[in-house]
Amino acid sequence: MEPVDLAVTALHGSVGDPALNSMNFLNEVAQHYPDAVSLAAGRPYEEFFDSALLHTHLDRFRRHLAEEVGLDRAGVDRTLLQYGRTKGIVHHLIARHLDVDEGLTVDPESIVVTVGCQEAMFLVLRALRTGPADVLLAVAPTYVGLTGAARLVDLPVHPVAGGPDGVDLTDLRAAVRRARAGGLRPRGCYVMPDFANPSGVSMDTTQRRRLLDLAAEEDVLLIEDNPYGLFPADGTDRRPTLKALDTARRVVYLGSFAKTVLPGARVGYVLADQRVGEADGAVVPLADHLAKIKSMVTVNTSPISQAVIGGALLAHDCSLVAANVRERAAYARNLRHLVDGLTRRFPAGGPVSWTVPAGGFFVVVSVPFAVDDALLHRSAREYGVLWTPMAHFYDAGTPVDALRLSVSAVTPESIDVGLDRLAALVTDTMAAGVTPQCQGSGTVRVP
């Protein structure tokens, strides 16, 4: 036995939580099997990266600071190179983007630019969690980054059924009432109305309005996460965000530039226009309080990273729709290719089924056996294909008979190779007999 200096039980409970290990685990598997085709990673396609553009974007943002904001040379340098404004330096450009692309008129002061959307989640949950009675509701299956962030602030996550409409409103109402009847305080409900990760499901506009109505009736905040909304499949129109339909400041909106500009910049934001009444009678946007928390976590988001994002926004008159024409086409093509490929490899009405999302990166494949991390290892080692066990997106630790495929980091050719390998794994696993976990009723069917 190696000598130990600290027991894990002497550390915050989150460090031993599977949710916090999920991303590391999946990255490690990918690193361990570099030759495997990855239908696991929800990363943008790397061929789109162009490091020469970093300088172009930086220069453009510098010109913007000088010519449009009116800073002198020292002011431009200070803005880019010095410690900076906690709420960020590209908030006004993000506000313009929301106007141009989402029809949303927002006060830039309601925006906090964060270190990725991940930090935005943390700030919001930290602010909302006031005591042990607080809970968060989240549509299940849930993005593991949200579950992990909730763990960091000791905020239990209560699942709400997703279903084919993106959120089961009856279940949401019941979950709110059940929590309150038990003396708990639902602080909000986390939703992803557009091409959700991992389910791929979207809400139609009627469902979005109903969700807003229900949130008003039950007096709960909605936390809308929208990293994939700019990637509808062919022939699919984009729908209004919940925030664009929200007339009562009931929605806190989370944004990410990871999929639409560059994940390495690590820039995201939170739009929090909720009015907070202060002890002295003043009223300030929730964003101001989130900024206070941020000032003690990351101080400010790297201004150099923000400048790159700012320059990229300026290059397209702040339209990320315009900036992502090529990306949208490629992801839509891949999604179509993946779904067609599944149809060719697995007979209709058979034991294997899959979702057909209207956009985004993810397809969920349901299989007649439990899918766990051990199977992923075997898939990588013996078949050369990676995917994500859906169990990572549920909190219960129950075996789930489904896996998530992602189309973002691959080509049609590698999708073909990956699907051939996946089909072989599925055929062999089925031939070997149904795994014990699957025989009981404990296995979760997805979606």
Q: Which residue number places its CB atom closest to ligand PLP?
A: 116
Is 263 near ligand PLP (CB under 6 A)? Answer: yes
- Cβ nearer to ligand PLP, comparing 225 with 327: 225
Asked whether position 42 contacts ligand PLP by CB under 6 A, the answer is yes
Q: Which of 22, 86, 110, 118 binds ligand PLP (CB under 6 A)?
A: 118
Q: Tell me the closest approach of the beta carbon of residue 159 to ligand PLP, in angstroms.
A: 16
CB of 253 to ligand PLP, least distance (A): 12
CB of 263 to ligand PLP, least distance (A): 6
Supply the minimum distance, in Å, between the C-beta of residue 322 and ligand PLP.
20
Which region among 44-52, 113-121, 165-173, 416-424 touches ligand PLP (by CB under 6 A)? 113-121
Of 256 and 388, CB closest to ligand PLP: 256
Q: Please give the residues from 139 up to 168 whose contact with ligand PLP meets the rule CB under 6 A.
A: 143, 145
**Stretch near ligand PLP under the rule CB under 6 A, chosen from 148-156, 178-186, 255-263, 308-316:** 255-263
Task: Kindly state whether residue 197 participates in binding ligand PLP, applying the rule CB under 6 A.
Answer: yes
User: Which of residues 143 and 369 has its CB atom nearest to ligand PLP in the complex?
Assistant: 143
Q: Which is nearer to ligand PLP, 223 or 375 (CB)?
A: 223
Angle, in degrees to the nearest 10, between helices 205-218 and 169-181: 20
Nearer to ligand PLP, 106 or 192 (CB): 192
Residue 192 found at the interface with ligand PLP (CB under 6 A):
yes
Q: Return the amino acid letter for 256.
A: S
289-328 binders of ligand PLP (CB under 6 A)? none
Return the residue of 106, 258, 287, 376 that touches ligand PLP, per CB under 6 A: 258
Closest distance of CB 170 from ligand PLP, Å: 24
User: What is the binding site for ligand PLP (CB under 6 A)?
Assistant: 42, 116-118, 143, 145, 192, 197, 225, 227, 256, 258, 263, 268
